[in-house]
Structure 1
Amino acid sequence: MWCSLLFLLQLLGVTTTEEGHWEDCKYGHQGSESHDRKPFCSWTCLLFTLQWPAGFCQSLSKEIPCRIPENINTWTIHGLWPLHVLSCCNCWPMFHSDIQQLEAQLTERWPSLVKTKSSFYFWTDEWQKHGACAACVEGLNSPLRYFQICLKLRGQFEIHRLLEDAGVTPSCERPYKVEEVRRVLAPHLGDEHEIQCVTDNKDRQVWFQVKIPLSRNFTIGCDHNSDTKTDPGPEWAFSSGHPCPPQVPFYYFPINHEQPQQPCR
């Protein structure tokens, strides 16, 4: 609440003598007791992550029901994540009114695939964990702008069409190799994109998502020079995924709206 008030005062041009508290909000610290004063704006790279609904459902435990809305037949957004953020301000809340004008597009492009969690819950979670950390960059400095950029990037990366045009289509029988898929995607996603899998209950590698590195100005590619591991996302995820093994074929399962967690049964 204190940070939210300070943000409002700053936007209105009102000064405050509580410089220490404002610095904590401005630089993403959780409170004045924080000893690490590295600003969260020091990050240089982003990961734009798209998920394949049929693969995502394989990442959930049996106790967590998956759902794929009838209108969802393509890749959806998982998130836009700044890399190597040491701490992030948790004091910028998001309200439904912040993104109301985008709700129809977000519902189509960024739905929750967990039956027990609403899409707004998913969006709020992504904003609090990642969007607020990126808010120091112009174009991402509000919930509305963050989600607008994500939707714009989703329109830029129509990987379903790219794959289909190259004959890479969902199948329960035909496995694919990492290199043949990379050859299709690299000209459009850059050489550093990562194809991620999860292991299903039959010990098969299943395509789960694609991570696309971007620079701060949203151009493709970024020299992050270190591990690209990020927070795996919401607490309901059973597996955060792993790079698909280059020598092991993986499956690109079809979407099954009626049995999303058993698409090939």
Structure 2
Amino acid sequence: MWRSVLPLLVGVSLFLLQLPDYSSTQEALWQDYKHGLRGSEAHDKKHFCTWNCLLFTLQWPGAFCQSLDERKLCSIPQSINKWTIHGLWPVKVFHCCKCWPMFESDVQELDAELKEHWPSLLKDQPSFHFWRQEWEKHGVCAACVEGMNSPFRYFQICLKLRQQFDIQKLLEDAGVTPSCDRPFKLVEVQQVLAQHLGDKHEIQCVTDPKGREVWFQVKIPLSHNLTVGCDHHADGGPGWNSSHGHPCPPQAPLYYFPIDHQQPQRPCG
């Protein structure tokens, strides 16, 4: 019996030895990303880092629900009362490698800070799922920069940028505070922020059911070394228009709604 089985075992062993090493393949792909190479491009020695600009995007929870097609899905935790992070997005990137997964242990040390400054505002989306989505869609593309070449480093950089661009304090110091009744002019808000965010930042709005232009996001263009003022319009690409917001119209009144935790879908009726 053993004599008849032995050739079969030897054949199976030889077959297994010929299979590619999955872990080695994954590691090779990760290394390609760390060095700015992607898939077949790695073999051609072409650089993956074709983007020149990043967009650091902050969102205002008081208007977030207005940006959703299904507003009933929105939920703002009681602890959230300030501008939160939406993402850090390389511009002119059309797809990222799916080879670099993210696990909760990758950002465990940052968990408390991320929940405070980068929470999910959707009822059916845990915060970690939001972070993982942002990493897989945008973070992996940014990972060819040494300071962001891991989930931990990417999210750590985002938290540092959130601290650097404390736009809520800038606005409060200038008397720009949330209100249901007091509209602002776009130019006066831009003047408050321009000296800190550069003149290339974009203030985005959503239009509420009553036709009001409601302040939703701020997009801050950054270069590879995270300095302000990168010429993002020259890059174009889907990263710039990856949300429901639109540039606030210069002539229309701009509303900066307060946060309403009980009725986040209709903070001002």
TM-score (norm 1): 0.85
C-alpha distance in 1 between matches for 2:167 and 2:69: 27
- Matched with 2:196 is 188
CA RMSD across the alignment: 2.7
Question: In 2 relative to 1, CA 81–99 (structure 1 residues): closer, same or farther, beyond 3 Å?
Answer: same
Larger radius of gyration: 2
Question: In 2 relative to 1, CA 3–139 (structure 1 residues): closer, same or farther, beyond 3 Å?
Answer: farther
The one-letter code matched in structure 2 to 1:146 is Y
C-alpha distance in 2 between matches for 1:248 and 1:3: 56
The one-letter code matched in structure 1 to 2:27 is L
Q: Does 1:74 align with 2:93?
A: no
Give the 5 Å matches for 1:155-166: 155-166=163-174
Give the 5 Å matches for 1:146-161: 146-161=154-169
Secondary structure in structure 1 of the residue aligned to 2:137: helix
C-alpha distance in 1 between matches for 2:156 and 2:247: 28
Give the 5 Å matches for 1:114-263: 114-224=122-232, 225-227=234-236, 229-230=238-239, 240-263=244-267
- Matched with 2:91 is 83
Give 1:223 deviation, angstroms: 2.1
Question: In 2 relative to 1, CA 37–51 (structure 1 residues): closer, same or farther, beyond 3 Å?
Answer: farther
Structure 1, gaps ≥5 residues long: 14-21, 234-238
Question: In 2 relative to 1, CA 246–210 (structure 1 residues): closer, same or farther, beyond 3 Å?
Answer: same
Contact 1:3/1:92 (<8 A) preserved: no
The one-letter code matched in structure 1 to 2:85 is I
Question: In 2 relative to 1, CA 191–229 (structure 1 residues): closer, same or farther, beyond 3 Å?
Answer: farther
Question: In 2 relative to 1, CA 228–253 (structure 1 residues): closer, same or farther, beyond 3 Å?
Answer: farther
- Matched with 1:18 is none
- Matched with 1:8 is 27
Contact 1:43/1:83 (<8 A) preserved: yes
Say how many residue pairs are matched.
247
C-alpha distance in 2 between matches for 1:248 and 1:133: 36
Q: Does 1:27 align with 2:31?
A: no
Question: In 2 relative to 1, CA 195–204 (structure 1 residues): closer, same or farther, beyond 3 Å?
Answer: same
Contact 1:67/1:113 (<8 A) preserved: yes
Question: In 2 relative to 1, CA 10–46 (structure 1 residues): closer, same or farther, beyond 3 Å?
Answer: closer
Give 1:232 deviation, angstroms: 5.5
Contact 1:40/1:86 (<8 A) preserved: no
Secondary structure in structure 2 of the residue aligned to 1:176: coil
Contact 2:87/2:134 (<8 A) preserved: yes
The one-letter code matched in structure 1 to 2:205 is C
Contact 2:84/2:117 (<8 A) preserved: yes
The one-letter code matched in structure 1 to 2:108 is Q
C-alpha distance in 2 between matches for 1:38 and 1:211: 30
TM-score (norm 2): 0.84
C-alpha distance in 2 between matches for 1:147 and 1:3: 28
Contact 1:40/1:87 (<8 A) preserved: no
Secondary structure in structure 2 of the residue aligned to 1:42: coil
Contact 1:47/1:214 (<8 A) preserved: yes
Q: Does 1:111 align with 2:124?
A: no
C-alpha distance in 1 between matches for 2:178 and 2:86: 19
1:223-257 CA distances to partner (integer Å, 9 max, x unpaired)?
Answer: 23243652765xxxxx6200001111111000001
- Matched with 1:17 is none
Contact 1:27/1:89 (<8 A) preserved: no
The one-letter code matched in structure 2 to 1:6 is T
Question: In 2 relative to 1, CA 10–198 (structure 1 residues): closer, same or farther, beyond 3 Å?
Answer: closer
Question: In 2 relative to 1, CA 5–256 (structure 1 residues): closer, same or farther, beyond 3 Å?
Answer: farther
Give 1:209 deviation, angstroms: 0.3
C-alpha distance in 1 between matches for 2:154 and 2:226: 12
Structure 2, gaps ≥5 residues long: 1-20
- Matched with 1:236 is none
The one-letter code matched in structure 2 to 1:75 is W
